[in-house]
Amino acid sequence: MKKLFALCMALLLLVPALALAEGKLTITQDSLIMLTDISGWYFARVENTGDAPALLEAGALTFFGEDGAEVHKIDYISTNLGNVELKPGQYAYISRMLWEDPLKDVKVAKHSFVFADTPYGTPVKTIPGEVKLQLKALGDSENNAFVTFTNPTSEVLYYIEVVVAITDEAGKLVSVAEHSNLGMGVHPGTAVTVMMRLENDLLTALKDAGTDMTKLKADALIAYHTPN
């Protein structure tokens, strides 16, 4: 009887904890880099900092002027992985090339990104990998990121997304590139290297702004899913 009572009490204590568990999407890195008054890039790293899975698809980016008033809004910007279900501690990247005529002659003082609700998401399965940057010469088309990974599963993988995020010496997110491998199978135990072109206009602007290009760091997010 005492053991049964103790078990019941333990279950009762567990119920509130389960009820309170929830996912929480948090922007851990966020950069708006304007190359001209109307063109530039938006980058973000979104992590599930909660204690339950969280669904992520897209969000809205809003620009504000010096007086705090809204001057422009992009209603839909999706993640580089599409609709995803992030487990606690997992993350995804968002990148968007901007060409926004409403920003002409407007000084953007700040911005915000608000997540959109989504009813579903594909669980993110990741593969560890290594990434190396090759920066030959700014203005050259041969500036690349090379990502190498091995299929650790017992299946042939046909759906792989590779995202490379680059940060500067201060840890600011300054570039995100992506590559999709949809169709060409990677066999179990096989190593693959993916070459990804980097945006030269963005790299040139970073250097002109004083970024030490020799101290850039890169993170490779390699995600895959298997068809049902």
What's the CA angle centered on 215, arms 212 and 218, to 5 degrees? 125
pLDDT digits (tens, 9 = 90+) for 114-136: 999 999 899 999 999 999 999 87
Q: Which residue has the higher pLDDT, 37 or 8?
A: 37
Same fold? 25-122, 124-224 = yes
Distances (CA, A) of 162 to 80, 182, 192: 9, 11, 12
- In angstroms, the CA 68 to CA 87 distance is 35
Tell me the C-alpha distance between 91 and 221, whole Å. Answer: 9
Domain boundaries, given as residue ranges, for the chain: 25-122, 124-224
Contacts of 184 (CB under 8 A, 6+ apart): 158
Options 3.10.580.10, 2.170.150.70, 3.40.50.300, 2.60.40.10; CATH for 124-224 is 2.60.40.10
What is the pTM (predicted TM-score) of this model? 0.87
DSSP string, 55-81: EE-EEEEEEE-TTS-EEEEEEEEEBTT
CATH of 25-122, one of 2.30.30, 2.60.40, 1.20.272, 1.10.3470: 2.60.40
CA-based nearest residue to 167, from 96, 93, 112: 93
Cα Rg for the chain, rounded, in angstroms? 21
Average pLDDT, the chain: 89
Residue 100 has pLDDT above 80, yes or no: yes
Strands laid side by side in the 58-64 sheet: 70-78, 58-64, 110-115
165-177 pLDDT, tens digit each:
999 999 999 999 9
Does pLDDT of 228 surpass 70? no
